[in-house]
Protein backbone atom coordinates (compact mmCIF):
# COMPACT_ATOMS: atom_id res chain seq x y z
CA UNK A 1 0.00 0.00 0.00
CA UNK A 2 1.44 3.36 -0.96
CA UNK A 3 1.61 6.25 1.46
CA UNK A 4 1.64 9.99 0.64
CA UNK A 5 5.17 10.29 2.07
CA UNK A 6 6.67 7.47 0.03
CA UNK A 7 9.35 8.59 -2.46
CA UNK A 8 9.34 10.31 -4.88
CA UNK A 9 7.05 12.60 -2.81
CA UNK A 10 8.69 15.71 -1.34
CA UNK A 11 8.11 15.40 2.43
CA UNK A 12 8.01 19.19 2.85
CA UNK A 13 5.34 19.51 0.17
CA UNK A 14 3.31 16.78 1.94
CA UNK A 15 3.74 18.71 5.21
CA UNK A 16 2.41 21.87 3.50
CA UNK A 17 -0.64 19.93 2.35
CA UNK A 18 -1.11 18.61 5.89
CA UNK A 19 -0.87 22.17 7.23
CA UNK A 20 -3.51 23.27 4.71
CA UNK A 21 -5.75 20.42 5.90
CA UNK A 22 -5.29 21.53 9.51
CA UNK A 23 -6.11 25.13 8.63
CA UNK A 24 -9.31 24.16 6.84
CA UNK A 25 -10.41 21.53 9.39
CA UNK A 26 -9.74 23.73 12.46
CA UNK A 27 -10.50 27.14 10.95
CA UNK A 28 -7.20 28.33 12.44
CA UNK A 29 -4.97 29.63 9.67
CA UNK A 30 -1.67 29.57 11.59
CA UNK A 31 -0.37 28.09 14.83
CA UNK A 32 2.33 29.71 16.96
CA UNK A 33 3.54 26.75 19.01
CA UNK A 34 3.26 22.99 18.61
CA UNK A 35 3.49 20.36 21.33
CA UNK A 36 3.69 16.60 20.97
CA UNK A 37 2.20 14.80 23.95
CA UNK A 38 4.01 11.60 24.90
CA UNK A 39 3.16 9.02 27.57
CA UNK A 40 1.97 10.73 30.73
CA UNK A 41 1.55 14.21 29.25
CA UNK A 42 -1.92 13.77 27.75
CA UNK A 43 -3.92 15.94 30.12
CA UNK A 44 -1.96 19.07 29.19
CA UNK A 45 -4.16 19.71 26.15
CA UNK A 46 -7.12 20.64 28.36
CA UNK A 47 -5.00 22.92 30.56
CA UNK A 48 -3.24 24.91 27.84
CA UNK A 49 -6.41 26.76 26.88
CA UNK A 50 -9.68 26.45 25.07
CA UNK A 51 -9.92 23.70 22.46
CA UNK A 52 -11.03 25.35 19.22
CA UNK A 53 -11.14 22.12 17.20
CA UNK A 54 -10.13 18.46 17.42
CA UNK A 55 -9.25 16.65 14.23
CA UNK A 56 -8.65 12.90 13.85
CA UNK A 57 -5.13 12.59 12.51
CA UNK A 58 -6.40 10.25 9.81
CA UNK A 59 -8.08 13.25 8.14
CA UNK A 60 -4.77 15.05 7.71
CA UNK A 61 -2.53 14.27 4.73
CA UNK A 62 0.35 11.95 5.56
CA UNK A 63 -0.93 10.94 8.99
CA UNK A 64 -3.10 8.20 7.54
CA UNK A 65 -1.96 4.65 7.82
CA UNK A 66 -3.06 1.34 6.38
CA UNK A 67 -6.30 0.26 8.08
CA UNK A 68 -5.05 -2.58 10.23
CA UNK A 69 -2.51 -0.55 12.13
CA UNK A 70 -5.09 1.00 14.38
CA UNK A 71 -5.49 4.29 16.07
CA UNK A 72 -3.34 7.31 15.21
CA UNK A 73 -4.78 9.86 17.61
CA UNK A 74 -5.82 13.46 17.19
CA UNK A 75 -4.56 16.92 16.41
CA UNK A 76 -6.05 19.74 18.44
CA UNK A 77 -6.05 23.47 17.99
CA UNK A 78 -6.01 25.17 21.38
CA UNK A 79 -6.21 28.92 22.06
CA UNK A 80 -4.32 30.21 25.09
CA UNK A 81 -5.57 32.93 27.44
CA UNK A 82 -3.26 35.32 25.56
CA UNK A 83 -4.92 34.44 22.26
CA UNK A 84 -2.03 32.40 20.87
CA UNK A 85 -2.70 29.23 18.90
CA UNK A 86 -1.17 25.93 20.03
CA UNK A 87 -1.21 22.84 17.85
CA UNK A 88 -1.43 19.85 20.19
CA UNK A 89 -0.20 16.69 18.52
CA UNK A 90 -1.53 13.52 20.14
CA UNK A 91 -0.47 11.33 17.25
CA UNK A 92 3.11 10.11 17.31
CA UNK A 93 4.61 7.64 14.87
CA UNK A 94 7.55 5.82 16.44
CA UNK A 95 10.67 4.82 14.57
CA UNK A 96 10.28 1.22 15.78
CA UNK A 97 7.04 0.92 13.82
CA UNK A 98 9.32 0.50 10.83
CA UNK A 99 7.68 2.95 8.42
CA UNK A 100 10.78 5.08 7.99
CA UNK A 101 11.85 8.44 9.37
CA UNK A 102 9.70 10.54 7.04
CA UNK A 103 6.56 9.35 8.81
CA UNK A 104 8.21 9.72 12.22
CA UNK A 105 8.88 13.43 11.68
CA UNK A 106 5.86 14.32 9.54
CA UNK A 107 4.01 15.82 12.52
CA UNK A 108 6.97 18.09 13.28
CA UNK A 109 7.27 19.23 9.66
CA UNK A 110 3.52 19.78 9.54
CA UNK A 111 3.73 21.89 12.71
CA UNK A 112 6.42 24.03 11.08
CA UNK A 113 4.37 24.35 7.89
CA UNK A 114 1.43 25.45 10.08
CA UNK A 115 3.51 28.39 11.25
CA UNK A 116 4.81 27.08 14.57
CA UNK A 117 8.20 28.51 15.52
CA UNK A 118 8.46 26.58 18.79
CA UNK A 119 8.27 22.80 19.05
CA UNK A 120 7.71 21.27 22.47
CA UNK A 121 8.48 17.53 22.50
CA UNK A 122 7.46 15.38 25.46
CA UNK A 123 7.90 11.70 26.15
CA UNK A 124 7.94 8.98 28.78
CA UNK A 125 11.43 7.55 29.22
CA UNK A 126 13.78 5.58 31.43
CA UNK A 127 16.04 7.37 33.92
CA UNK A 128 19.71 6.48 34.29
CA UNK A 129 20.46 8.70 37.29
CA UNK A 130 19.78 6.96 40.60
CA UNK A 131 18.70 10.27 42.14
CA UNK A 132 15.71 10.41 39.82
CA UNK A 133 12.44 8.71 40.70
CA UNK A 134 9.60 7.44 38.53
CA UNK A 135 7.03 10.20 38.09
CA UNK A 136 9.64 12.95 37.88
CA UNK A 137 9.69 15.28 34.85
CA UNK A 138 13.11 16.37 33.58
CA UNK A 139 14.23 18.77 30.87
CA UNK A 140 16.19 17.43 27.91
CA UNK A 141 19.46 19.36 27.63
CA UNK A 142 20.88 17.51 24.61
CA UNK A 143 20.62 14.16 22.89
CA UNK A 144 22.59 11.23 21.53
CA UNK A 145 20.94 9.68 18.51
CA UNK A 146 21.60 5.93 18.62
CA UNK A 147 19.14 5.00 15.87
CA UNK A 148 21.83 5.25 13.17
CA UNK A 149 19.21 7.10 11.13
CA UNK A 150 18.22 10.70 10.46
CA UNK A 151 15.32 12.67 9.01
CA UNK A 152 17.78 14.67 6.91
CA UNK A 153 18.08 13.51 3.34
CA UNK A 154 21.09 14.08 1.10
CA UNK A 155 23.99 16.37 1.99
CA UNK A 156 22.00 18.46 4.46
CA UNK A 157 24.42 19.77 7.08
CA UNK A 158 22.63 21.32 10.02
CA UNK A 159 24.06 22.70 13.25
CA UNK A 160 22.89 20.89 16.40
CA UNK A 161 24.49 23.19 18.98
CA UNK A 162 21.89 24.39 21.48
CA UNK A 163 19.29 22.14 19.82
CA UNK A 164 17.32 22.06 23.08
CA UNK A 165 17.02 25.80 23.58
CA UNK A 166 18.78 27.12 26.69
CA UNK A 167 16.38 30.07 26.58
CA UNK A 168 13.31 27.83 26.72
CA UNK A 169 14.84 25.65 29.44
CA UNK A 170 15.32 28.79 31.50
CA UNK A 171 11.66 29.69 30.93
CA UNK A 172 10.67 26.20 32.14
CA UNK A 173 12.79 26.70 35.27
CA UNK A 174 10.98 29.96 35.99
CA UNK A 175 7.84 27.84 36.28
CA UNK A 176 9.54 25.05 38.27
CA UNK A 177 12.99 25.86 39.68
CA UNK A 178 13.41 22.24 40.83
CA UNK A 179 13.47 20.86 37.27
CA UNK A 180 16.61 18.81 36.64
CA UNK A 181 17.92 18.17 33.13
CA UNK A 182 19.77 15.47 31.26
CA UNK A 183 20.96 14.05 27.96
CA UNK A 184 18.41 11.92 26.11
CA UNK A 185 19.65 8.79 24.30
CA UNK A 186 17.33 7.56 21.59
CA UNK A 187 17.45 3.82 21.01
CA UNK A 188 15.57 2.23 18.15
CA UNK A 189 13.43 -0.04 20.35
CA UNK A 190 10.84 -1.44 20.69
CA UNK A 191 12.64 -3.74 23.13
CA UNK A 192 13.80 -1.92 26.23
CA UNK A 193 17.55 -1.62 26.62
CA UNK A 194 19.73 -4.30 28.16
CA UNK A 195 21.57 -3.33 31.36
CA UNK A 196 24.79 -3.30 29.30
CA UNK A 197 23.23 -0.85 26.83
CA UNK A 198 22.18 1.37 29.72
CA UNK A 199 25.74 1.26 31.12
CA UNK A 200 26.98 2.23 27.66
CA UNK A 201 24.48 5.09 27.49
CA UNK A 202 25.69 6.34 30.84
CA UNK A 203 29.37 5.99 29.85
CA UNK A 204 28.86 8.08 26.70
CA UNK A 205 27.08 10.85 28.58
CA UNK A 206 23.42 9.83 28.60
CA UNK A 207 20.98 10.34 31.46
CA UNK A 208 17.66 9.35 29.85
CA UNK A 209 16.79 6.44 27.53
CA UNK A 210 13.87 6.57 25.15
CA UNK A 211 12.57 5.72 21.71
CA UNK A 212 11.14 8.89 20.19
CA UNK A 213 12.47 12.37 20.57
CA UNK A 214 15.92 12.76 18.99
CA UNK A 215 14.78 12.21 15.40
CA UNK A 216 11.87 14.63 15.90
CA UNK A 217 14.15 17.27 17.39
CA UNK A 218 16.53 17.06 14.43
CA UNK A 219 13.62 17.65 12.04
CA UNK A 220 12.40 20.56 14.17
CA UNK A 221 15.82 22.17 14.01
CA UNK A 222 15.98 21.63 10.25
CA UNK A 223 12.65 23.45 10.03
CA UNK A 224 14.16 26.35 12.01
CA UNK A 225 12.08 25.83 15.13
CA UNK A 226 13.17 26.46 18.70
CA UNK A 227 12.93 23.16 20.60
CA UNK A 228 11.97 22.42 24.18
CA UNK A 229 12.08 18.80 25.37
CA UNK A 230 10.65 17.16 28.47
CA UNK A 231 10.93 13.55 29.60
CA UNK A 232 8.72 12.04 32.23
CA UNK A 233 10.87 9.46 34.00
CA UNK A 234 8.42 6.55 34.02
CA UNK A 235 10.95 4.02 35.34
CA UNK A 236 14.59 3.65 36.22
CA UNK A 237 16.39 2.22 33.19
CA UNK A 238 17.20 -1.50 32.93
CA UNK A 239 19.88 -2.56 35.39
CA UNK A 240 19.44 0.68 37.38
CA UNK A 241 15.98 -0.50 38.38
CA UNK A 242 16.08 -3.50 40.74
CA UNK A 243 13.07 -5.01 38.95
CA UNK A 244 12.41 -5.95 35.30
CA UNK A 245 10.75 -3.29 33.14
CA UNK A 246 7.20 -3.62 31.97
CA UNK A 247 5.07 -1.57 29.64
CA UNK A 248 2.33 -1.59 32.30
CA UNK A 249 4.71 0.01 34.82
CA UNK A 250 5.54 2.73 32.28
CA UNK A 251 1.87 3.42 31.56
CA UNK A 252 0.98 3.40 35.26
CA UNK A 253 3.76 5.87 36.16
CA UNK A 254 2.50 8.12 33.40
CA UNK A 255 -1.05 7.91 34.71
CA UNK A 256 0.00 8.77 38.25
CA UNK A 257 2.11 11.75 37.26
CA UNK A 258 -0.20 13.00 34.53
CA UNK A 259 -2.12 15.67 36.43
CA UNK A 260 0.97 17.27 37.94
CA UNK A 261 3.22 17.25 34.88
CA UNK A 262 0.42 18.28 32.55
CA UNK A 263 -0.12 21.38 34.73
CA UNK A 264 3.63 22.09 34.54
CA UNK A 265 3.65 21.73 30.76
CA UNK A 266 0.60 23.95 30.34
CA UNK A 267 2.17 26.63 32.55
CA UNK A 268 5.43 26.50 30.60
CA UNK A 269 3.58 26.76 27.29
CA UNK A 270 1.58 29.68 28.71
CA UNK A 271 4.84 31.50 29.42
CA UNK A 272 6.47 30.62 26.14
CA UNK A 273 3.36 31.83 24.35
CA UNK A 274 3.04 35.12 26.18
N1 LIG B 1 13.73 2.76 27.81
C2 LIG B 1 13.31 3.19 26.62
N3 LIG B 1 12.12 3.77 26.44
C4 LIG B 1 11.34 3.93 27.52
C5 LIG B 1 11.73 3.49 28.79
C6 LIG B 1 13.00 2.87 28.95
O7 LIG B 1 13.43 2.47 30.05
N8 LIG B 1 10.71 3.81 29.64
C9 LIG B 1 9.75 4.41 28.90
N10 LIG B 1 10.13 4.49 27.62
What is the per-residue pLDDT across 61-80, written as a single tens digit (0 to 9) for each? 999 664 444 455 899 999 99
CA-to-CA distance for 23 and 20, rounded, in angstroms? 5
pLDDT in tens, the chain (274 residues): 789 999 999 999 999 999 999 999 999 999 999 999 998 898 898 999 999 999 999 999 999 664 444 455 899 999 999 999 999 999 889 999 999 999 999 999 999 999 999 999 999 999 999 999 999 999 999 999 999 999 999 999 999 999 999 999 999 999 999 999 999 999 999 999 999 999 999 999 999 999 999 999 999 999 999 999 999 999 999 999 888 888 888 888 888 899 889 999 999 999 998 8
**C-beta of 210 in contact with ligand 1 (< 6 A):** yes
pLDDT tens per residue, range 149-180: 999 999 999 999 999 999 999 999 999 999 99
Ligand 1 pocket: which of 209, 239, 240, 249 to mutate (most atoms within 8 A of CB): 209
Are residues 64 and 56 in contact, defined by beta-carbon separation less than 8 angstroms?
Answer: no
* Sequence-ordered list of residues with C-beta below 8 angstroms from that of 142, at least 6 positions apart, any chain: 163, 164, 183, 184
Query: Which ligand 1 atom sits nearest the alpha carbon of residue 236?
Result: 7
> For residue 218, how far is its CA from the centre of ligand 1 (angstroms)?
20
> For residue 21, how far is its CA from the centre of ligand 1 (angstroms)?
33
Q: Is 267 exposed, middle or buried (0-12, 13-18, 19+ CB in 10 A)?
A: middle
Atom 7 of ligand 1: nearest residue by CA position? 126
**C-beta of 40 in contact with ligand 1 (< 6 A):** no
> For residue 209, how far is its CA from the centre of ligand 1 (angstroms)?
6
**C-beta of 91 in contact with ligand 1 (< 6 A):** no
CA-to-CA distance for 74 and 63, rounded, in angstroms? 10
Check residue 67 and give its pLDDT. Answer: 45
Ligand 1 pocket: which of 136, 246, 249, 250 to mutate (most atoms within 8 A of CB): 250
Atom 10 of ligand 1: nearest residue by CA position? 125
> For residue 126, how far is its CA from the centre of ligand 1 (angstroms)?
4
Amino acid sequence: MTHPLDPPADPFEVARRAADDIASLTGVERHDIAVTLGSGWGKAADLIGETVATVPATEVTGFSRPALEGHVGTLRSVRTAQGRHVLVIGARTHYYEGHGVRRVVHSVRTAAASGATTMVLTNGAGGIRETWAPGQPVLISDHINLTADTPLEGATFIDMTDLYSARLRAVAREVDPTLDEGVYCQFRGPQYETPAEVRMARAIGGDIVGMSTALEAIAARQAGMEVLGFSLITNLAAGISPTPLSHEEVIEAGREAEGRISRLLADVIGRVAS
